[in-house]
Structure 1
């Protein structure tokens, strides 16, 4: 769930890239980077938030009218500073690439890159693999001078070789920017333009909110398997490069990942979340018509949008009863389970008088690991709540996500191999309500009826790209566990992943 941006402007784009990355900061807090070019490549990247990575003297050196940027949220690789993006290779032409997503066949591709393409990798990041495959295919199809046909053919080969969910933006020295989206359109990327007194400018970004903040008019989202070229003069050219494609965007973008002011695949994230609240309220009324809820309280910030219509439908008071420390990172995208646990009480503080003697319904966007909601429920009880009910605006998260969201280990997921009643007991809620999957899908489809299929793998265990084997899931469970050592008594996550029954897999190709 990284954030990516690329801009072709009529003046220096360094400040615009910086501003776009701050707009996309919610998509990653691990590292940030910018690459620009005039007659040569200029680069600055490092670990930390955008505001921490870039100082004035760094910005002064990022000269050029063409540039790309990236904010990192680690899903593959070690998360070290060496894996901050964009990545760069000087052969052929000079190419920098920023990538959001995850390649399912990265291990096989790494061997191919070394054995067949005769290229070396310096990190464990699948983004560097993607860069080298794209570069290798440009060299294979290219000549001394690059043209659109060479680029589109290279992207076609990327789609043929790579399996997974990905959106990528590449800067090619002296040519412009190339952006492309995986054949299932799992990870988001959109296109915008703006006209200045000096001429046309073009921009691509993970979310339309980044376009809005810079005054670009959103044109559309990239289609499945599509590549767009942003020429130095602001002209945009595009082509569908995948031989087979299907529209299956990630449903979790609407649940949690994206900003509410973004539009993804012609569906407003804000209005989708409003409808999620309405359908969740209908579910509660169907299960419990004689409810005794006194007040509905959102877990800030993402759940606020769904919580308002839910409270209205139930005819119950809505109260902002948790105060959030805005200087604490999003707990979902923190690097370790211990760090997530420690941050919850520093992140949220209850207003005790809003809880005392009341039956409260806490509403969150989803329940993933269960760490945050369990501690929040404890806080509500300590603040004096008589009963604490909990509602999730998303269905139970039971399976690994393999397309770029940090849900890799089944043993980390509170709903894995548990019934809803068992989850309620585990998080210590008096009662638990989940959004039905059909309700979630309907909330998005009512915004865009043309979206008939989604990547819902974290809810259903069905993987739209294919190529997801039991062996693959077992391997990433071990590779990405917070405590990978089997001999470490703290390694409960890795042990749970190995001991748990692997679910039946459904690959849809």
Structure 2
């Protein structure tokens, strides 16, 4: 993506199903779990560069000894920093206690991060605050082992204000207004309730307090706790948690917005936000990895039993399509094919824009994430050429000469790497004019391929959000090759609406498609629509969220997709560009063809999968009208 936006968070959970001694004997290391956690997190580094954290829990630790270990770090190197810290601890122990460090029980008794349940999190922040306290996992601590709670997740809730009020009504006083805090405290509240109910029950049955602690651990109904906790949640979420005595869970929202995959055998249960990282880390085939079902929690009890249990009734599945277009790793087997399909499905629009003039067109891509969709476009264009050649040869009545045959068979689409993304430039330059000149050089180009004022350049990007990099860098550099025409192609449809489920796209003014629609309304004398939408948004504030509609759709309704695309081309066109410029976007219909199982398209259609989404988009529009450059929801 030329306009970089922050990724979603990522999670990794490992539940070792054998004693540590088993892994020492089979794999030659007692650190099998922590090593695998490192792999899962490093392979998901694309999902968060603001920070990371890990937590582990040991089973059956004697009173007075620590059984929860946690370490967090900030910055783009957080994963490496965390595991360097852990490995240094292990190395120091191995050096100081060479004999004892070969005893897995001694390690468990004396060394942190040697537990049976391991949880990792990669973070990006959806608000300005970025501190070590904002990094997951979060702890809710208590002297009662079964009341301890560790939580980490990939989520945003749209109704944090409502959830906070519920906590206030329970008599709690959360320390900050953030969805992470509300989730932690909501689960913690019902965990406390369940503990108290079980305590009272076993007390009546004559158990001693020490015996009751063990009984509570065995009988905690995790699904019941999660059902009560999530009853009023509105958002997209995959949330992982560990209870102090060893129960663990990963829960997924009822619409399946956020991803969650798992693998289980007799040695290990592993959960991650992305499927290929599990395949790679554990060397397993594609079919061995499953998805957690929407509205369900994967629950691993301390006794090793594992089940999927429903905590909220699933609704129509709206798994995020942007996961497939951009965010998730392209090494996933299905995602790779879907991205290729997105490129192939654009070929008809592209051919129309170049008048089918393959001979005088150079096809390229904007690195790095559009490369796979480019391969799909290559396949589509190659098929077009083959069909064109076949049609001429099969439908020709007269005999063809050798020269004519050579000419026909020599027709081919020209695929070249024109754009090269250089290393990130340092930002020590402070003058705006000088800084903008430097931005133009983020991308470089390959010279000597495009014929001056004769060739058209077609360059595919996976998506266009703001169009800033196109205007300030890419188009200017491509124009230096002196093409007669530049066609910029987006494998995603026009991004028109903000996300509120975990991706950092939340302000209306950031979308070039929105800017284009506003420009068209003003230019065509329809500015009254802006005010009408604003008034409807204001009136909706007092409505129950289930009755609120997405009123912002009216901003786009007067115009065709082609009209908005043409205005986007005008907006992103540098003032000194010489070539003709055309911008083409994927259609919604073709997006659904390419990604049939991921129909969460609210970024493009405005059809939000939860009621809170409509509330957020209307608030985002109000913020834009009022000149408030803030997000329309509380966030982590």
Alignment pair present for 1:454 and 2:599: yes
Structure 1 residue 345, shift from structure 2 partner: 5.2
Instruction: Tell me, in whole angstroms, the C-alpha distance in 1 between the residues paired with 2:451 and 2:54.
Output: 49
Equivalence for 2:347:
281
Secondary structure of the residue aligned to 1:247 is: coil
Instruction: Tell me the SS of whatever aligns to 1:238.
Output: strand
Change (3 A) 1:356 1:493: farther
Q: Which residue of 1 aligns with 2:230?
A: 159
Higher RCO (CA-CA < 8 Å; seq separation 6+):
2
Distance 2:437 2:503 in 1: 21
Q: In structure 1, which of residues 131, 135, 151 is the aligned counterpart of residue 188 of structure 2?
A: 135
Distance 1:27 1:328 in 2: 22
Q: Distance in 1 between matches of 2:281 and 2:458?
A: 39
Which protein has the bigger strand share? 1
2:85 is aligned to 57
* 397-406 or 168-177, larger mean C-alpha shift: 168-177
Aligned residues of 1:341 and 1:372 also touching (Cα < 8 A): no
* Alignment-derived partner of residue 252 in structure 2: 181
Partner of 1:45: 72
8 A Cα contact 1:2 1:72, kept in partner: yes
Indicate the residue corresponding to 2:461 in structure 1. 364
In terms of fraction of residues, the more helix-rich structure is 2
Check 1:260–1:35 CA distance in 2 against 1; reply closer, same or farther (3 A cut).
same
Contact residue 408 and residue 477 of structure 1 kept, 8 A: no
> How far, CA to CA, are the matches of 2:309 and 2:140 in structure 1?
25
Paired position in structure 1 for 2:374: 307
1:214 to 272, 275, 281: 281
The CA RMSD over aligned residues, in Å, is 3.0
- Which of residues 590, 595, 604 is equivalent to 1:444? 595
Q: Deviations over 1:238-270 (max 9, x none)?
A: 11111343311011111111111226xxxx100
Pick which of 396-405 and 142-151 moved more: 142-151
- 1:132 is displaced (CA, Å) by 1.4
Measure, in 2, the Cα distance between the counterparts of 1:185 and 1:158.
18
C-alpha distance in structure 1 between counterparts of 2:322 and 2:376, whole Å? 20
Match status 1:16 vs 2:36: yes
Matches of residues 246-257 of structure 1 in structure 2 within 5 Å?
246-257=316-327
Unmatched tracts of structure 2, length 5 or more: 1-7, 21-30, 62-66, 90-111, 200-215, 383-412, 427-432, 517-563, 574-579
Gaps of 5+ in 1: 330-337, 446-450, 479-491, 503-509
Contact kept, 8 Å, 2:443 with 2:477, in 1: the verdict is: no
Q: 1:461-500 CA deviation, whole Å, 9 max, x = no partner?
A: 111111234577436985xxxxxxxxxxxxx9983869xx
- 1:350-405: CA deviation from partner (whole Å, max 9, x where unpaired): 22334563421111000011122322112212354443210000100011111111
Cα distance, 1:244–1:496 mapped onto 2, change above 3 Å:
same
Asked if the contact 1:76–1:124 (Cα under 8 Å) also holds between the matched residues in 2, the reply is no
Matched, 1:71 2:122: yes
Instruction: Tell whether the 8 Å contact from 1:356 to 1:386 is kept in structure 2 after alignment.
Output: no
1:294 aligned onto 2:348: no
Secondary structure at 1:254's aligned position in 2? helix
Which of 23, 27, 36 is residue 56 of structure 2 equivalent to?
A: 36
Give 1:444 shift.
Answer: 1.5
Determine the structure 2 residue equivalent to 1:432.
583
The answer as to whether partners of 2:508 and 2:620 remain within 8 angstroms in 1 is no
- In the TM superposition, what are the counterparts of 1:87-166 in structure 2 within 5 Å? 87-91=138-142, 93-116=147-170, 118-121=172-175, 123-142=176-195, 143-144=198-199, 145-147=216-218, 150-166=221-237
1:320-346 deviation digits (Å, cap 9, x = unpaired)? 2333347789xxxxxxxx9x9899656
State whether residues 8 and 66 of structure 1, in contact with CA within 8 Å, keep that contact through their aligned partners in structure 2: yes
Instruction: Check 1:68–1:354 CA distance in 2 against 1; reply closer, same or farther (3 A cut).
Output: farther
| Whole-angstrom distance in 1 between the partners of 2:261 and 2:622 | 32
SS at 1:467's partner residue? helix
Q: 1:54 deviation in Å? A: 1.9
Q: Do structure 1's residue 373 and structure 2's residue 470 form an aligned pair?
A: yes
Distance 1:369 1:175, change over 3 A: same
- Closer/same/farther in 2, CA of residues 254 and 86 from structure 1, 3 Å limit: same
> Residues 75-116 of structure 1, C-alpha deviation per residue, up to 9 Å, x if partnerless?
256233321111111146211111112101012212322331
1:5 shift after superposition: 0.8
Matched, 1:270 2:336: yes
Output the CA distance in 2 between the equivalents of 1:343 and 1:397.
27
Confirm or deny: 8 A CA contact 2:14 2:37 kept in the other structure. yes
**Mapped partners of 1:471, 1:317: distance in 2:** 45
1:435 and 1:384 map into 2 onto residues whose CA distance is: 27
Q: 1:471–1:318: structure 2 CA closer, same or farther, 3 Å change rule? A: closer
Instruction: State the TM-score, normalizing by the size of structure 1.
Output: 0.83
Give TM-score, length-normalised by structure 2.
Answer: 0.67
Matches within 5 A, 1:301-340: 301-315=368-382, 316-325=413-422
For the residues of structure 2 that align with 1:493 and 1:46, how far apart are their CA atoms? 38
Distance 1:370 1:80, change over 3 A: farther
* Cα distance in 2 for residues equivalent to 1:236 and 1:402: 32
